[in-house]
Structure 1
Amino acid sequence: MEHDDSKGALKEFTPSSGLAVSIDDPVQNPGLPPHRERLTDVDPKAAKRAERTIYTLFYISVAASIWAVAAYMLFPIEDQEMTSIRQNNLFIGLGIAFALLAIGIGAIHWSKTLMSDKEHVEERHTTRGSEETRAAVVEAFRTADEESGFGRRKMIRNSLFAAVIASVLPGITLFRGLAPHDAENSPVDLLKQTMWKKGEHLTRDPSGTRIKASDVTLGSAFHVIPESLLEMGHDDGMLNEKAKAMVLMVRMPPEQLTERGERKDWSYDGIVAYSKVCTHVGCPVALYEQQTHHLLCPCHQSQFDVSDEAKVVFGPASRPLPQLPITVDAEGYLIAQSDFHEPVGPSFWEIR
């Protein structure tokens, strides 16, 4: 540290540079770099071309959204044709992808070519501003609208509105596929009736081998389907019927079962059978934990207690798994006493 008598200022010697820097001199504001005008700022024709490009992209987005809706109708998935399902997914996905991509590219091109690109400095305020400050904010929004051209460039603004509104339509259309809308094909009625009926043999999935009660050991779990399902072909809706009728059967000590009076004869010597269709969103419940007697749905981790009428003990499922009443025939083979007494599958199907 040394004192400069000629100027009356303190100077500090920095070994790295070997220079004496004045402590009293403030750091100079370097300012902003020179602003470089864009082509669209100086050439009205270029600005017009950019505007046409932007609203063309937005209208392409509208067309892509409309195509996604049309693809849903042109390639229906209700006929269960694998080709139609693949085309449905492909063309709807492409339509939605192009709709959103065109909006994104158009918005970026708009900001890069036509919106104001001048640098601005805004002071930060730690407290609520005064009325003058709030009025200044309103003025800032007005200025931003003017500089972006949002209110002035009607073609861009209107095409953007149309693109955003149209981009929602494919999503709304896809809700149509959640369930039939006609009264004859009510989801509740469709899921309340399965192929199980009185005397229907329980068979292994997928071999179709009948199951004797003596073959079911303590702690074992069997994936079960109705015997008559094997007589159906794929064209007869076999997969749909299997999806409703699939069952998981386990055996545990009878004294560990908690059963209400009306359900005491629904099991046989500790053997119980429950629908494999999760009551949350319909995933197959296929993981059995022998020590806790819990069934686990791998999709969203709902857990059901087999020892207590498959009640929900964890996860988002809202009701127990439906139980299939079972018994044995004269030869000791396991058979169903009836169909399920309630709809299988997700609970939202029961909302009319």
Structure 2
Amino acid sequence: MTENNIDNTGDDTPKRVVGTPAAEEPVVSVKAEQARDDHNGPYPASETHFNSEEVQRRGEKVASAWFIIAFLGGIGFLVSYFLFTPGQIADPQYGQYSNMLLGGTLTLAMFGIGAGMTVWARKVMPHYEVSSPYDELPSNDEEKGSFSAFFMQGADESGFTKRPLMRRTLILAMVPLGLAPIVLLRDTGPLPGDKLKNTPWEDGRRMYVEGTHRYVRAEDLENDPYGMISALPAVDDDHYPHGISLNDAAKSVILLIKMPEEDWQPSMNDEIEVDGETGTRLNWTHNGIIAYSKICTHVGCPAALYERTTHRILCPCHQSTFDASDAAKVVFGPAHRPLPQLPIGVDDEGYLIAKGDFTEPPGPTFWDYAKD
């Protein structure tokens, strides 16, 4: 069954149904002789409404005024950002003024651009309805060749090319807003560099029991009923708790575990390299005591649970389980990487010390932990 769509304007010429070939001649609703002689636009004059030149010039001035206001608002935003120091922003008295200035100037800048564009569209640009008939999707060579001319014709009608005052003030208003994201990058802080790959652990660094100020001796693990101690590096002996910051503590906390040597798995004889020195994993232990990072390699939760009979280290967040007797390899859960091992020894006074940094950077797997 075939249907013909009849034009409501009175023209009973049948329109093409979707899926049928295009007509040889396009159907137009306005005859050519109805167009004004001075009209050069792509649409018939009867469908196009132009404001008078006086109205267009007045609209250009009003739009330019809004763009200048937007420019001043953008400059005010940048000035407000640098006006207060980080310490003043944290202070409730100054912080509220900072928020008010930043929000107010940014609102003024965005509103000025929007108001200017609205005046531009209503007073300067021509008004007509645009409709595209359903036709074959691929464009013919004539349509492709005329696109550039059609685009430039539209730009000329918009007033962007022949209204320099409005064009320049719009560009001027956009400059501060374009710079704002670059300025705000300052709040992201410096690049981390190698901070994610290195920790305070180094050769000769003593360790203390987490939550205390007591250094760890090897015999402390002999009498511990759980066979496990959570420890941190002693960075500064003169300050409690040994001068380590929260950030450093979060990535350097370790588990000290003691187990019988007959329980070690063959993988403990694998060679590893720490600070340029090569040795087996057993070389980096002391009298059956081994140190692993306490930070789970899944999403960084503390793997703080240890089952002495099976030598399993459990992360309570997502149940990632590591085998302490087998180089802390993953035996269950979503983690994909073993817990990094810390090489340890003892100093002349019998205190446990680190013999270098971790065998690989600690923390979640999504960090780039490549050494080179």
TM range (shorter): 0.5 to 0.7
Structure 1 pair 316–102 and aligned structure 2 pair: CA distance change class (3 A): farther
Structure 1 pair 37–150 and aligned structure 2 pair: CA distance change class (3 A): closer
| 1:163 has 2:176 as partner | yes
Q: Check whether the contact 2:294–2:303 (CA below 8 A) recurs between aligned residues.
A: no
For residue 341 of structure 2, give the secondary structure of its aligned residue in structure 1.
coil
| 1:217 has 2:226 as partner | yes
Identity across the alignment (%):
16
C-alpha separation in 2, matches of 1:297 and 1:147: 67
Quote the residue 1:242 is aligned against: 249
Query: Between Structure 1 and Structure 2, how many residues are aligned?
Result: 301
For residue 178 of structure 1, give the secondary structure of its aligned residue in structure 2.
coil
Paired letter, 1:198: G
C-alpha displacement of 1:264: 0.9
Pairing of 1:1-352 with structure 2 (within 5 A): 26=6, 28=8, 42=55, 44-45=57-58, 47-65=60-78, 67-68=80-81, 70=82, 75=85, 83=87, 86=90, 104-115=110-121, 116=125, 118-151=128-161, 152=163, 153-174=166-187, 177-179=190-192, 187-188=193-194, 192=198, 194=200, 197-198=203-204, 200-204=206-210, 206-208=211-213, 212-214=220-222, 215=224, 217=226, 223-227=230-234, 231-232=238-239, 238-243=245-250, 245-249=252-256, 254-256=263-265, 258-259=267-268, 260-261=270-271, 262=279, 263-267=281-285, 269=288, 271-274=290-293, 276=295, 284-287=300-303, 307=324, 309=327, 322-326=340-344, 335-340=352-357, 344=361
For residue 52 of structure 1, give the secondary structure of its aligned residue in structure 2.
helix
Q: TM-score, normalised by structure 2?
A: 0.56
C-alpha displacement of 1:203: 0.5
Paired letter, 2:302: A
Q: Check whether the contact 1:249–1:274 (CA below 8 A) recurs between aligned residues.
A: no
C-alpha displacement of 1:325: 2.0
Paired letter, 2:357: F
Say what the alpha-carbon RMSD is for the aligned residues. Answer: 5.6
Structure 1 pair 96–258 and aligned structure 2 pair: CA distance change class (3 A): farther
Quote the residue 1:79 is aligned against: none
For residue 336 of structure 1, give the secondary structure of its aligned residue in structure 2.
strand
Paired letter, 1:245: S
Q: Check whether the contact 1:258–1:309 (CA below 8 A) recurs between aligned residues.
A: yes
C-alpha separation in 2, matches of 1:113 and 1:276: 59
Paired letter, 2:77: A
C-alpha displacement of 1:225: 1.5
Q: What stretches of structure 1 of length at least 5 have no aligned partner?
A: 1-22, 77-82, 180-186
Q: Check whether the contact 2:74–2:173 (CA below 8 A) recurs between aligned residues.
A: no
Paired letter, 2:293: Y
Quote the residue 1:17 is aligned against: none
C-alpha separation in 2, matches of 1:120 and 1:207: 76
C-alpha separation in 2, matches of 1:290 and 1:46: 75
Q: What stretches of structure 2 of length at least 5 have no aligned partner?
A: 11-28, 30-46, 272-278
For residue 272 of structure 1, give the secondary structure of its aligned residue in structure 2.
strand
Structure 1 pair 100–199 and aligned structure 2 pair: CA distance change class (3 A): closer
Q: TM-score, normalised by structure 1?
A: 0.58
Paired letter, 1:123: P
